[in-house]
Structure 1
Amino acid sequence: MNLQEIVDDIASAMKPRLGEGKIADYIPELARIDAKQFGLAVTTVDGETFTAGDASVPFSIQSISKVFMLTLALGKAGESIWSRVGREPSGSAFNSIVQLEHEHGIPRNPFINAGAIVITDMVLAGHAPREAIGEFLRFMRYLADDDSITIDEKVARSEQKTGYRNVALANFMHAFGNLHHAAELVLGVYFHQCALAMSCVQLSHAGLYLANRGTNPLTGFSVVSEKRARRINALMLTCGHYDGSGDFAYRVGLPGKSGVGGGILAIAPGKASIAVWSPGLNKVGNSALGSEALEMLTQRTGWSVFGH
């Protein structure tokens, strides 16, 4: 199987369609991005990276950061985190308040905004917000083995100015006793983690531990246990694309996590970590061309977790 040929073919197929979908313009800083971009990077567990298109252009990873924050929280608090956040698909929008009221401030899973805010609250325990942001950035540089990764302050500020619904979610959970720090402190960290800028290449490297039983084969660093890697993948498969998770599992068949910056991290367990990016989103808020590119990739490679 010639992976370089496959990624080149996918990028060629996407070329005439660049700019499809709708950019996440509710975050003003993201609205300024050129929609006509597409990047794809596939890093195998043997440590080889195959790229096409704009694979080395940094973009705002947004909600993909939730996978890595969950990994940090599990490292700090272990399985006890599940008393404060569920593990079920939400079936409603990623920023829904209705469900949260119904379930008494316990978010349905760690990948919807409310759940991710609780996870961030856990990582903040014992830290000042600046320290927690620093810890997250160091962790991401360690995972990707790349010290050039940074947080885009402009995007973070842009989100802070417009994130009223996230403020509402945080305050709401605080009222139920499920947020242990002041809402504005937790949100300060949350908006910064979402504003992390990474390229497809860096992101495919950072996700490699999930494809390789918890260990990054590029560095030999053990990040999580094999069991924990498997469980994070399970959550990505069932909850990683909000109310589009079922459709993504049906069409692509890989654990994945999308972000409104147009990025998607997908994991082929035992095979590869894949990052794709194209800013235009489909109606459920996932990268339109990115989702299709991953579907093409699994068709060509047979990498679906549901067998050939």
Structure 2
Amino acid sequence: MTNASLNQILDSACRSIQDQIGSGKVADYIPALARVDIKKFGASILTLDGESASFGDAKEPFSIQSISKVFSLTLVLNQIGDKLWERVHHEPSGNAFNSIVQLEMERGIPRNPFINAGALVLSDILLKDRTPDTSIQTILNFLNEIIGEKRIGIDHEVALSELETAHRNSSLVHFMKSCNNIENTVSDVLNVYCNHCSIAMSCEDLSRSMLFLAKEGFDPISNQRIISPELARRINSIMMLCGHYDASGDFAYRVGLPGKSGVGGGIVAIVPEVGVITVWSPGLNKNGNSLVGTSALEAIAKISNWNIL
């Protein structure tokens, strides 16, 4: 597919949802995110053969929030493989991403690695033989090596906001520690978690950094294997089933692609054997997913006929 045809697909899809831009509600429970302009909108597509297209604010960095859980999951699976599933399950939750009721019912074993409790366990595993600072740097090094430039970093204002308002996440870690599913200190786990959720990336950065998931774990631009084909398929499966909190079924119905959202307004969607689509619009729906971003991805999937269903 040429750049011209990609641009035509992206431009047509994005213009079809222009009247929705500004809809939804920003994640105002994190003070730094409450100040983000709700009218921002960006989108990008990157294919396996290196063709690309961008629209709007695609180059502007934003807080990726829960999208970062895909990277921590990749690192943890490379670190301990399927042993992870002894501490985190891989089932849809059907509940809010920060539910403590479900965690209590299931005796401290999170339903999947993309809800907050599951991602906190990932942070705990990343801390093995590392300090919080080196754990965070491990994630940043992973991203910068894929992108090929040392420019991905933490938005420290967002990280501080997250740490200062991490009461629910703190309770999740404390409860899991009481169930012997957390090995490190609560403060260290929260430090790693809040910082990796505060990584700032653009739509173009995210499309580039997840390209390996469109090619069974192999990055065709750097010619490097990032993760095994089997584990890449596991990640895509979990993204399909659990990538959008308690609205994962709705996203699968509307878009039909594995994806991961974050309350910063970003969504990344994987098109196997084709490429990656990323959208950003800070206004969220009631489930914590970008309202306009979901509509944009639905339009892109419809126009391009990209889906796995």
TM-score, normalization by structure 2: 0.98
1:226 is displaced (CA, Å) by: 1.1
1:235 maps to what in 2?
Answer: 238
Question: Match of 1:305, SS?
Answer: coil
2:170 maps to what in 1?
Answer: 167
Which runs of no fewer than 5 residues in structure 1 stay unpaired? none
1:47 is displaced (CA, Å) by: 1.3
Query: One-letter code of the match for 2:185?
Result: A
Instruction: Give yes or no for contact 1:144–1:203 (8 Å, CA) kept in 2.
Output: no
Question: Match of 1:51, SS?
Answer: strand
1:24 maps to what in 2?
Answer: 27
1:103 maps to what in 2?
Answer: 106
Measure the CA separation in 2 of the matches of 1:257 and 1:145. Answer: 23
1:292 maps to 2:295: yes
Measure the CA separation in 1 of the matches of 2:36 and 2:68. Answer: 19
Measure the CA separation in 2 of the matches of 1:238 and 1:219. Answer: 29
Question: Match of 2:103, SS?
Answer: helix
Measure the CA separation in 1 of the matches of 2:47 and 2:274. Answer: 6
1:10 is displaced (CA, Å) by: 2.1
1:82 maps to what in 2?
Answer: 85
1:210 maps to what in 2?
Answer: 213
Superposed CA deviations along residues 176-214 of structure 1, whole A, max 9, x for unmatched, are 000000011011000000000000000000010000111
Question: Match of 2:16, SS?
Answer: helix
Measure the CA separation in 1 of the matches of 2:17 and 2:40. Answer: 10
1:105 is displaced (CA, Å) by: 0.2
Instruction: Give yes or no for contact 1:144–1:202 (8 Å, CA) kept in 2.
Output: yes
Query: One-letter code of the match for 1:232?
Result: I
1:114 aligned to which of 95, 117, 136: 117
Instruction: Give yes or no for contact 1:256–1:267 (8 Å, CA) kept in 2.
Output: yes
Aligned residues: 306
| Greater mean alpha carbon deviation, residues 255-264 or residues 135-144 | 135-144
1:263 maps to what in 2?
Answer: 266
2:96 maps to what in 1?
Answer: 93
Instruction: Give yes or no for contact 1:65–1:193 (8 Å, CA) kept in 2.
Output: yes
Structure 1 runs, 4 residues or longer, greater than 2 Å off: 13-17, 143-146
Measure the CA separation in 1 of the matches of 2:16 and 2:145. Answer: 34
| Greater mean alpha carbon deviation, residues 292-301 or residues 106-115 | 292-301
1:199 maps to what in 2?
Answer: 202
Question: Match of 2:270, SS?
Answer: strand
Query: One-letter code of the match for 2:282?
Result: P
Instruction: Give yes or no for contact 2:113–2:119 (8 Å, CA) kept in 1.
Output: yes
1:13 is displaced (CA, Å) by: 2.3
Question: Match of 1:136, SS?
Answer: helix
Instruction: Give yes or no for contact 1:256–1:264 (8 Å, CA) kept in 2.
Output: yes
Instruction: Give yes or no for contact 2:98–2:117 (8 Å, CA) kept in 1.
Output: yes
Superposed CA deviations along residues 12-34 of structure 1, whole A, max 9, x for unmatched, are 22333221110000000000111
1:154 is displaced (CA, Å) by: 0.6
- The CA RMSD over aligned residues, in Å, is 0.9
Instruction: Give yes or no for contact 1:262–1:281 (8 Å, CA) kept in 2.
Output: yes
Instruction: Give yes or no for contact 1:146–1:202 (8 Å, CA) kept in 2.
Output: no
1:54 maps to what in 2?
Answer: 57
Give aligned-pair identity as a percent.
Answer: 52
Measure the CA separation in 1 of the matches of 2:141 and 2:274. Answer: 26
Query: One-letter code of the match for 1:14?
Result: I
1:140 is displaced (CA, Å) by: 1.2
Which runs of no fewer than 5 residues in structure 2 stay unpaired? none
